Amino acid sequence: MRLKFDDYGLDIVRRELCRASDLVAIEPQVFDLLAYLVQNPDRLISRDELLQAIWDGRFVSDSAIDNRINAARRAIGDSGEAQRLIRTVPRKGFRFIGAVEACAPAPSRTKPVQATERRRDAPSALAGGALAVLSATLAGLLLWPGSSGSWKVVAGLLAGPRPTAPSEKMIGMMPRLTIAVLPLTAPGNGIDQPKLADGITEGLTTELSRYRYLTVTSKETAAAYAQRGVEAKQIGRELGVRYIVDGSIEQTGGQVRVTTRVADTGSGSYLWADRYDRPSGDLLSVEDEIVGRMLNEVKTALTFNEASRPDGGGDTDAVQLTWKARALHDMAVSRKGYAEAAEAYERVLALAPRSLTATVGLAGALASSARGLFGGISAANAETLRHAEGLIDGAVTILPRNAGAHFQRGQVLRMQGRCDEAIRELEMAIDLDRNLVDAYSVLGQCKLVTGAFAEVIPLEEKALRLAPSSPFVGNRYQRIGMAELLQSHVDGAISWLEKARAAQTIWHSEWVAQANSGLAAAYALNGDTGRAADALAEARKSDEYPSSIAGLCRQSPICSNPTMRALVEPTYLKGLRLAGLPDE
């Protein structure tokens, strides 16, 4: 079925949106939403109806719905101000008010164009197939000065055939690792143990299967090895898998204890093991929390094992280099660490120019290495951020349903000070992968600098539950502490910021200066002038710490506009003045 409205044609069967003779790039979920509105013209569609029709009844935030509505508007040349085709009915829903007529399907189009309204400063990128990422990568590399290996990357991009449609080979994601999740054993007598063991096993199997670089043995096949006591090497040979996950669950009184391990079937050794203790309660809640934490721990264990695999090809093996780059990226607790990860991704692209894994990773690493400790951006770093934006926009065009790509786009936007746009990308990333721990944490940072202080704490606490051993726990403590401080909860702020300082010191993180700055303000507001002065002195040991309140506000996104300045003035800034930081 093809529907025509204004200058556009919407082919429901082919899932194509055309303007005249050109295809318009549109993300799958945005297409679904637009198609639903167009097929119900001039009818009021409530948010609840959209949730049921587009999200299968799952809860998503109002901002996530608004994000998709705005994307649909951009795709058809509309806007929230004009509302020429899609009208918002306040507190009621949405109406498609364009004239719609059915017509015969049109021949397939091959010339794609972008939506008519583009985000500000977004670089041009051809939409569709490999050309999108090739164009964006090429443009970004030519713009970015001093890029080691840039010309090698350009040469690689220009050489060889250029597919016109995405394929596994062209996309160049990570080669698949094989893994089996053995059923968790339940040796005790707890009444819910077998059910919970089965639920966690199935949940982890399902969640791991969502990742393109993992091939997971079916639950039924893995079940044949339950309680047989077969060694890891034999399981690896018989199932053809590189890794296995096993473990057990015990329930005693009101507590649940889950023990899990990851083994390398090649060596037969365990790479990682952990234990989760949690009060028993709602089984689904227990399953979700434990599966989410296990998932992140397993992915980390696989990344670091592949990165350190002795049989890798070193600097001539793009796959081995990709794992090393990812490991560097995951452990980067400083801008220098991110810069090292970026260099590693560049080496991958010199060997494998079409690797979107490296392209996405490079964009995120460059963005994280570019912003000053307190938010300032030099001219050179602004250029680096533009390069990162070109890379990630091209990758997202090809991978519109990839959570990691949307997360890194959110990172780039956040580092550019465009947190309102970043929030939409981060919420989309979470919609696509509810266990993407860093997306919750960075979303919390964006909520902090846009004044939604009460929303910060649950987001950061979610990240802490999903990855309690992450090197970034100090950053998450710090954001909670700042959210408490900016709500005048001074005692709570001190508690969280002290934890942040301790964790960041252990990891030798440069962000400890931010924790000390927050502590200086909190101690001073609490009347503890001695500790406030000491914390401020520690913060000022950083070469980047501003010499005055005015300098801080020129750099920090937390003072980015008059509304935010009014919110931070009676708390953070007042405390810093009391601690001894001058106004000018």
**Residue 13 pLDDT level (bands cut at 50, 70, 90):** confident
Q: What's 313-375 look like in SS3?
A: CHHHCHHHHHHHHHHHHHCCCCHHHHHHHHHHHHHHHHHCCCCHHHHHHHHHHHHHHHCCCCC
**Residue 320 pLDDT level (bands cut at 50, 70, 90):** confident
- The structure's pTM equals 0.70
| Encoded amino acid at 117, one letter | E
**Predicted confidence (pLDDT) at residue 130 exceeds the cutoff of 70:** no
- Domain identity same for 162 and 181: no
Question: Is 156 within the bounds of a domain?
Answer: yes
Domain boundary, last residue among 244, 272, 307: 307
Question: Is 393 within the bounds of a domain?
Answer: yes
Lowest mean pLDDT segment, chosen from 55-59, 263-267, 536-540, 543-547: 55-59
**Predicted confidence (pLDDT) at residue 343 exceeds the cutoff of 90:** yes
**Residue 153 pLDDT level (bands cut at 50, 70, 90):** very low
More confident residue, 540 or 142: 540
What CATH number corresponds to the domain at position 29? 1.10.10.10
Question: Is residue 376 within 8 Å of 555, Cβ to Cβ?
Answer: yes
Sheet holding 214-216, edge to edge: 214-216, 177-181, 243-252, 255-264, 270-279
Supply the pLDDT for residue 549.
94
Q: Which residues pair with 255 in a beta bridge?
A: 252, 279
Question: Is 226 within the bounds of a domain?
Answer: yes
- Domain identity same for 20 and 78: yes
Q: What is the mean pLDDT of residues 531-540?
A: 96
The residue segments making up the domain with residue 572 are 457-584
Question: Is residue 102 within 8 Å of 3, Cβ to Cβ?
Answer: yes
Question: Is 382 within the bounds of a domain?
Answer: yes
* Nearest residue to 86 via CA among 185, 5, 195: 5
Question: Is 450 within the bounds of a domain?
Answer: no
- Domain identity same for 516 and 419: no
- Domain identity same for 461 and 584: yes
**Predicted confidence (pLDDT) at residue 165 exceeds the cutoff of 50:** no
- Domain identity same for 209 and 302: yes
Supply the pLDDT for residue 106.
54
Model confidence over 483-533: pLDDT tens digits?
999 999 999 999 999 999 999 999 888 899 999 999 999 999 999 999 999
Supply the pLDDT for residue 186.
83
Mean pLDDT of the chain: 83
**Predicted confidence (pLDDT) at residue 150 exceeds the cutoff of 70:** no
* Cα–Cα dist 403/399, whole Å: 9
- Domain identity same for 182 and 302: yes
- Domain identity same for 499 and 559: yes
Question: Is residue 479 within 8 Å of 448, Cβ to Cβ?
Answer: yes
User: How many Å from the N-terminal Cα to the C-terminal Cα in the chain?
Assistant: 66
- Domain identity same for 138 and 204: no
**Residue 127 pLDDT level (bands cut at 50, 70, 90):** very low
**Residue 162 pLDDT level (bands cut at 50, 70, 90):** very low
Q: What is the mean pLDDT of residues 238-260?
A: 89
**Residue 60 pLDDT level (bands cut at 50, 70, 90):** low
Q: What is the mean pLDDT of residues 244-254?
A: 87
- Domain identity same for 525 and 563: yes
Domain boundary, last residue among 435, 466, 496: 435
Q: What is the mean pLDDT of residues 201-206?
A: 92
- Domain identity same for 159 and 186: no
Question: Is 14 within the bounds of a domain?
Answer: yes
3-state DSSP assignment of residue 258: strand
**Residue 310 pLDDT level (bands cut at 50, 70, 90):** confident
Supply the pLDDT for residue 352.
86
- Domain identity same for 468 and 373: no
**Predicted confidence (pLDDT) at residue 388 exceeds the cutoff of 90:** yes
Supply the pLDDT for residue 138.
32
Supply the pLDDT for residue 536.
97
Question: Is 28 within the bounds of a domain?
Answer: yes
**Residue 255 pLDDT level (bands cut at 50, 70, 90):** confident
**Predicted confidence (pLDDT) at residue 260 exceeds the cutoff of 70:** yes
**Predicted confidence (pLDDT) at residue 148 exceeds the cutoff of 70:** no
What CATH number corresponds to the domain at position 281? 3.40.50.10070
- Domain identity same for 182 and 164: no
Domain boundary, last residue among 281, 307, 333: 307
Strand ranges (DSSP E) for 213-343? 214-216, 243-252, 255-264, 270-279
What CATH number corresponds to the domain at position 383? 1.25.40.10
Counted domains in the chain: 4
**Predicted confidence (pLDDT) at residue 151 exceeds the cutoff of 70:** no
Model confidence over 267-289: pLDDT tens digits?
999 999 999 888 877 777 888 88
* Cα–Cα dist 127/109, whole Å: 13
Q: What is the mean pLDDT of residues 372-393?
A: 86
Supply the pLDDT for residue 191.
61
* Cα–Cα dist 531/484, whole Å: 19
Q: What is the mean pLDDT of residues 312-320?
A: 72
What CATH number corresponds to the domain at position 492? 1.25.40
* Cα–Cα dist 567/451, whole Å: 8
The Cβ-side half-sphere exposure at 175, using a 13 Å CA radius, reads 10
Question: Is 118 within the bounds of a domain?
Answer: no
Q: Which residues pair with 22 in a beta bridge?
A: 19
